[in-house]
Amino acid sequence: MLGSDYSTKFSPWLASGSLSPRLIHDEVKRYENERQANSSTYWVLFELIWRDYFRFLSVKYGNLLFHIGGPRNVQRNWSQDKKLFESWRDGCTGYPLIDANMKELSTTGFMSNRGRQIVCSFLVRDMGIDWRMGAEWFETCLLDYDPCSNYGNWTYGSGVGNDPREDRYFSIPKQAQTYDPEGEYVAYWLPRLLTIPREKRNFPGSLYIRQIVPLKFGTTGRHNKEETSLGGARRRNDRRWNRN
């Protein structure tokens, strides 16, 4: 998530039409034939396929991609709580991994693919906010904004698109441990965390700002009765998603 070589950074040029996806495909295949195929070449081609998928999805469903119920007209009682949304938008949720990604987005116009999935999950699953508000903020900020990919991914991530798992959830503790175990990424975008021991940067407690909502599975990443009973926002969101 931190650095320049975890992704190709082709997306702004693809979105503007300055770079051909066919050219990328042909060059990757040439590299594989002349040298070797590896995990990097696999993922470049994989993401190009996803890009095409969302284009075909937009052709099939048209304006339904922008409707609150998405292509499948899923009925959810979404919140449009301004305070909650602004805390997410401004990177002030109290969760460093969320806040760092949102700070990167507003500062640079870019966010990693992993980060986009994490902040989407947090907005719609933990906050229960209308997914379109998140999609519109991405549209405002992203250098690589593309309507098909942006709204396609948001409908997918919020459970109103073609994802067979309607309740897809990204656990912040698990994501932090996997992708930023030393807290380097969060400390880069949130310098106040630099003085905190690395192992505590993603969950610094009172050393950081107050968490605006509890997580679905708590800060341990495990489901238990105490954690799922925390806070009115969490309970309201459980009812919204028909959870017991």
Helix 147-158 vs helix 113-121: crossing angle, to nearest 10: 50
pLDDT of residue 234: 47
Is residue 223 pLDDT above 50, yes or no? no
Active site residue 189: no
d(CA 21, CA 33): 18
d(CA 48, CA 25): 8
pLDDT in tens, 119-165: 999 999 999 999 999 999 999 999 999 999 999 999 999 999 987 66
pLDDT in tens, 15-41: 999 999 999 999 999 999 999 999 999
Residues 118 and 179 in one domain: yes
Is residue 192 pLDDT above 80, yes or no? yes
d(CA 197, CA 207): 11
Among all chains, which residue has been given the structure tokens 């999609």? 135
Say which of 13, 32, 50, 162 is annotated catalytic. Answer: 50
Q: How many domains does the chain have?
A: 2
Residues 187 and 223 in one domain: yes
Residues 52 and 72 in one domain: no
Q: What are phi and psi of 129, to 5 degrees?
A: -85, 145
Active site residue 137: no
pLDDT of residue 239: 52
Active site residue 47: yes
Q: Residue 16: which CATH number?
A: 1.25.40.80
- For 55, the domain range is 11-62
Active site residue 131: yes
Say which of 88, 101, 104, 131 is annotated catalytic. Answer: 131
In this prediction, residue 180 has a pLDDT band, given cuts at 50, 70 and 90, of very high
**What residues have CB less than 8 Å from 145, skipping those under 6 apart?**
15, 138, 139
Is residue 5 pLDDT above 90, yes or no? no
pLDDT of residue 164: 67
